[in-house]
Amino acid sequence: MEENESNAPRKKLFLDLFKEGNSSLGAFETRKKELSPEQIALETQQLWKQLRREFPKTGKISTLRKRKIRYGLAASLALLMIAGLLWFFVHNTGEHFIFQTSYGETKSITLPDQSGVMLNANSKLSYKKDWDQQASREVWLEGEAYFQIEKKQRDIKFIVHTEHLEVEVLGTQFNVKERRGTTEVVLNTGKVKVKRAGKEPLLMEPGELVKYSVNTESYAVKTVDPEIYGSWRHHILNFEDNSLGEITSVLEDNYGYTITFQEEGLADERFTTTLSSDNIDILFPMLEESFDLKVRREGKKVNIARAH
């Protein structure tokens, strides 16, 4: 009973320090925010101050209790060091700040101008460290991202660079996806200008999708529901009359699967569904039932064949 009472202040201290929303470190753990070196130094200073308040120098502290305090402090400082290392690796790569996601992960990013970016799985976004000194706001994208661009009082351009296209805007919301030699831009609101070296710029209207293919070096434009193409940011996958080949490409690009079709024509079958991206495995039994298929899985390797 005495031991439990002596532990109570220490337990309360560390719960207070690391509960969500109470400190920068707590927010980092739960919301994946990065800490700057200045923030880390401040957190460390605050940690020491609170420890001194909770455990003043006056009075006797048992050897066991000292050891527990020391272990708790070491664990706390280790978390701060890990946060600092993550900040360093994300923010100090050459001349650019770089943000990356792994398979199945999305990341919310706030740019220096307060524009918001939701980065989809297996994607990378970067911008120059001297952003504020640039004549235009520029980012470089590999993969897929949804942009909510803040419009400035002065007409400062915002440019998204992909491998094959540039998307130029002033203030708008849109989705950009570049995979497998194809770039798609879907405009939700505002206006954007899509540019390709050697070709006339293409001005988009809300509700339009522009697809550029490297193989054909041509644009395809059609009217779509933008929310279907941007639903991934809400952890929802919408497939509307997509071929199985298109669906499996999403699984490979965003979730790291390797999928093989055993019979010709299977990849051309078309399918419509809506499901949670947090439970992507449910898609395979849905395909089995809908098309009378047999899906064999070994980890991330999937083989799809006719059942009969």
Q: What is the pLDDT along the chain (308 residues), one digit of tens a residue?
A: 444 454 555 444 444 444 433 333 322 232 334 444 455 555 555 555 554 554 454 444 455 555 555 555 555 555 555 555 554 444 445 688 999 999 999 999 999 989 999 999 999 999 998 887 677 899 999 999 999 998 875 678 899 999 999 999 877 999 999 999 999 999 999 989 999 877 788 999 999 999 999 888 888 999 999 999 999 999 999 999 999 999 999 999 999 999 999 998 999 999 999 999 988 989 999 999 999 999 999 999 999 999 87
DSSP 277: G
Coil, strand or helix at 104: coil
Phi/psi for 181 (5° steps) reads 80, 10
> How many other CB atoms sit within 10 Å of the CB of residue 250?
21
Tokens matching residue 141: 């994208």
CATH 3.40.50.300 is right for the domain spanning 96-227:
no
Region(s) of the chain under CATH 2.60.120.1440: 96-227
DSSP 129: T
Q: Are 95 and 128 in contact (CB under 8 A)?
A: yes
Region(s) of the chain under CATH 3.55.50.30: 235-306
> 235-306 has which CATH code?
3.55.50.30
The CA–CA distances, whole Å, from 230 to 168, 175, 198 equal 19, 6, 29
The residue among 122, 102, 98, 118 whose CA lies nearest residue 110 is: 118
Q: How far apart are CA 85 and CA 32, in angstroms?
A: 13
Which residues have CB under 8 Å from 286's CB, separation 6+? 273, 275
